[in-house]
Amino acid sequence: MASAVEAVTECRLAGVDETWVGIDDTAGILVNVNLAQPEARRCLTLLLRRLQGRRLPCIHLVRTSAASTVREAQALGATACLSALLDPETVVEALFRQIRPDATVSELVVQRQIARTGTLINTMFQTAASGQIDLQEVEQGLDPVMNAVKEGGLTGWLEVVRAHDDVTFQHCLLVAGLTAGFARSLGLSSKDSHLMVRAALVHDVGKSRIPPEILNKPGRLDPDEFRVMRTHAPIGHEILLASGNCDPITLAVTRHHHEMLDGSGYPDGLSSDAIADPVRLLTICDIYSALIERRPYKEPLPEAEALRILHGMTGKLEDGLVAAFAKSVSTDCRHPIAA
């Protein structure tokens, strides 16, 4: 039950000896006790006193539907009684219908996973400025992204992330979500999907060393600034090498995600076969993400328009992969996009 709640928000477990100190930001309560036990009733009476008349959503799990049990539970603060035999997800859904009637549990799960991964990304960028990152920490961001995309769909992930105004935060999480969705749609194994999402989360880590006045410039970059901006790919690669134990896919993606099949990309001007498949895949997610993002100097493009631009990049991107990507985005969207 606690882990079902944890998927949505923070959860504190309390025993019948709980003294209910520091509960000001408690949003709801699940009670799973035997009310025949005096210590359980004492504990709930103390909770009611601590709440000082504040009525919180409070679901009691009961083992009988006898009217006397329901009455007693209500007297001890229950806003609803449910069978203790129900599965945790159903109970959690009922609780959150009372706490947040404006959102579904799926939406709340996506929001929480984004907050979790976002904190991780922010920490990663702060530590990267010193030249290294903790790849173990990045690992903790993989499941939240993959679970949120699975739970709320790619559209849910994109909608919530796009509402965020920190450009780099938004970009990393968008690329990670798009990559997770693309990997799912391609039927990649869980191991390969994890590798791809890891690479997506760190691919722009070199931007931690780009001066903020260039990174956040509210206008187009001039050629000198653009030259500085382009160094983020090799810098990111250096940061990962210095961090140690980085897998070859993440290293390649970080250095080469701006390479194009026709050799017009940077930093190494690689072409065709020299660009590995995982890099080609991530490059597509990266470009699409940049197109649909709000930047200080541009409005986000509609998704159909962004796909049209990708389809127009023949020679630079792999056509078959672009078609597969378009399918992965379209099948997930509530409003299908014509490719």
> Out of 62, 72, 200, 204, which residue is the one contacting Fe ion (CB under 5 A)?
204
The stretch near Fe ion (CB under 5 A) out of 52-60, 156-164, 201-209, 248-256 is 201-209
Q: How far apart are CA 196 and CA 180, in angstroms?
A: 8
Decide whether 204 or 259 has the Cβ nearer to Fe ion. 204
Nearer to Fe ion, 107 or 204 (CB): 204
Instruction: Provide, rounded to whole angstroms, the least separation between the CB of residue 160 and Fe ion.
Output: 19
Which residues in the chain belong to E strands, given as ranges? 29-31, 58-62, 80-83
Spell out the long-range contacts of 133-137 with Cβ–Cβ below 8 A and sequence spacing 24 or more.
133/202, 133/205, 133/239, 133/240, 133/243, 134/243, 135/202, 135/240, 135/243, 135/244, 135/245, 135/246
Q: Is there binding between residue 293 and Fe ion (CB under 5 A)?
A: no
Residues 248-277 that bind Fe ion (CB under 5 A): none
Please tell me the total number of residues recorded for the chain in this structure: 339
Shortest distance (Å) from residue 231 CB to Fe ion: 11
Q: Tell the residue number behind the tokens 């203790």, with chain if given.
A: 84
3-state class (DSSP) for residue 63: coil
Q: Which of 72, 107, 259, 286 binds Fe ion (CB under 5 A)?
A: 286
Interface pattern 104-143 for Fe ion (x via CB under 5 A) = ----------------------------------------
The interface region with Fe ion, picked from 5-13, 21-29, 41-49, 284-292 by CB under 5 A, is 284-292
Q: Taking CB under 5 A as the rule, does residue 303 contact Fe ion?
A: no
| Cα 333 to Cα 325: distance, rounded to the nearest angstrom | 13
Q: Which tokens belong to 107?
A: 């939406």
Least Å distance between CB 171 and Fe ion? 6
Cα-based angle 272, 273, 274 (whole degrees, multiple of 5)? 95
Q: If DSSP codes are grouped into helix, strand and coil, which group holds residue 60?
A: strand
Choose the binding region for Fe ion from 18-26, 48-56, 182-190, 202-210 (rule: CB under 5 A): 202-210
C-beta of 284: minimal distance to Fe ion in Å?
11
Judged by beta carbon, residue 107 or residue 286, the one nearer Fe ion is 286
Q: In angstroms, what is the minimal distance from the CB of 36 to Fe ion? A: 60
User: Phi, psi (5° rounding) for residue 56?
Assistant: -100, 150
| Chain contacts with Fe ion (rule: CB under 5 A) | 204, 286
